Amino acid sequence: MKLAFKLVTITLLLTTQLTSQNKPNVLLIVLDDLNDYIGVLGGHPQAKTPHIDQLAKEGVLFTNAHSNVPVCSPSRASFMNGILPTTSKNWGFDNWLKNEMLINSKSLPEYFRDNGYTSYQSGKVFHTAKKGAWDEMGAVAEYGPLAYNGKKAALHPSCPKAMGTLGPLDATFASLADIPDVAATKEASGHKGWWNTNWKTNTAFHYKDDSDRDLMTDEKSTAWFAKKIKTLEDAESNTPFFISLGFIRPHTPLVVPQKYFDRFPVSEVQIPVYKKNDRSDTKLQENTLGKEPRGRTAFRTLTSAYSSEERAMQAYLQAYLASVSFADDRVGEALSTLEKSKYKDNTIVVLFSDHGYNMGEKEYLFKYCLWEESTRVPLIIKSPNHIQNAGKTVDHPVSLVDIYPTLQDLCKLQGSTVLNEKGARLDGFSLQPFLENPNTNKWEGPDVALTVVSSWKSKKANEQHLAVRSKDFRYIHYANGSEELYDHKNDPYEWNNVASKSNYKSIKTNLKHQLFDIVKVPNKKTTLEVTPMEKDKKLANEKWKDTYFKENPKADTNKDGILTWQEYKIHKNQ
């Protein structure tokens, strides 16, 4: 009996080890404020991102991927929990850890841990980390270094004084070699040199030259990652890992070593293609409660400090392109570490940015708006089980909330994604069908990607500033009812708002319907206008859905007597 018990125990242990070994590891690389300025997306002709481009050749590139809320904290709270901001109502600058729905849902690292993984992170992944979510944390997220006045962070002397209204973080763009020397004032003693201003690392940043200096956060993260992989190899660990590296650049301050600035001589920097007075047909200004949008303030204060808009943008873009190149080198270091390890053939790599960034288009220099440059993000997934599609692209609109269910599928994660009844089920849809066939028509997600920006005057999801991006169009619906519509087939730069054009009426109505269907607010004020062929197809689909509704009445989750396609898809996936 004892011998039999021992044999069973040994068999169970071996089975557990084999199961663990067969589970894929995950490396999640999250970049900060990176728009489409990478080689494979062609956002800027001078962008130098060979390592990200190489990853795109080895994985599947989603060319129409979008952030669900284009600012750091709520974006990360959304994709790390798999819940849309319109569901959680976390779309502004509130601390997501105080959001009842989000805090009672399982974040990605928690869900992976429940499935036998060890979770690690370094740098900036969550905007504020959830206590206990990670088994181990690496480098602390330090945005700087910044200039210092003896008491706190200060505006770099080389940067426009007018930009000081934005604060040192967003107003600083300078090479590390440009050592700040802040003069003394009545309030502070002044200081020469760089400074770490994170509350955990409020210390001087040593810099003599590029070869004799402290490491920046992103460099610390790749060094930590190399050590962690070696430690796991040396321990011959059979436990699968979920590791997330959060690279801060190209988030402001745009401060990186001089060699990256040297890659982009300022006089040779090409500024984006602009249309004069492009903001005239936009509706953002009338929806900001009488305040100048931060992006407009940034653009105005930057350009007013130079002899021309072109020179101003060249100076800023040099720093941004340098920061992108710096971040790409860190991506290259991490991928090189993985490639040289025993885990290279059993690790899923996912790379993306939390949101994009407007570079002066529509006289806007910031994020947190609903135009293409701020919502569109790079998204690359390299899956060992889908190498047959390496180098392929997907142009179907998807969003960051889809990453959670994709990893759930790829890693065959089991169990509930909520901690209790106060949490919420996943809003996104698995991208695995696109990895299996980039041209598939079997994806169960929506035909549009949703983005939300706070209106600051309501807590209702349907009263925020909302946008959806389809394959060919962008539709924006502001809280006051004003609209923007852009035809990307004929207007890739979003120069012409055609929302009021009669020949676009049916398209606008259709997109509006899809938008409010996702937000779960019935759009009863409009009737879809479709062609006879589309009408026949729609009637057939609706008839089929009605049949499903009769057989599954519980699919109507909000009990309004109407089964939306979103409700159908959620119920079908349960």
Q: Are residues 484 and 476 in contact, defined by beta-carbon separation less than 8 angstroms? A: yes
Catalytic annotation present for 159: no
For helices 403-410 and 72-81, angle between their N-to-C axes, nearest 10 degrees: 30
**Secondary structure in 3-state letters for 535-551:** HHHHHHHHHHHHHHHHH
The residue written with tokens 């181990």 in the block is 136
DSSP type of residue 194: E
Return the structure tokens found at 59.
Answer: 């994985």
The residue written with tokens 């991208």 in the block is 431
Close Cβ partners of 104 (under 8 Å, ≥ 6 residues apart): 418, 419, 420, 422, 423
Return the structure tokens found at 439.
Answer: 């041209």
Catalytic annotation present for 72: yes
Q: 51, 66, 127, 396: which is the annotated catalytic residue?
A: 127
Q: 51, 66, 72, 465: which is the annotated catalytic residue?
A: 72
Q: Are residues 80 and 133 in contact, defined by beta-carbon separation less than 8 angstroms? A: no
Q: Are residues 80 and 402 in contact, defined by beta-carbon separation less than 8 angstroms? A: no
Cα–Cα distance measured from residue 377 to residue 66, given in angstroms and rounded to the nearest whole number? 5
Angstrom CA distances, 247 to 218, 285, 293, 484, stand at 5, 32, 27, 33
Q: Give the Cβ contact number of residue 373 at 10 Å.
A: 24
Cα–Cα distance measured from residue 55 to residue 63, given in angstroms and rounded to the nearest whole number? 14
Q: Which amino acid does the sequence have at 214?
A: D
* Catalytic annotation, residues: 72, 127
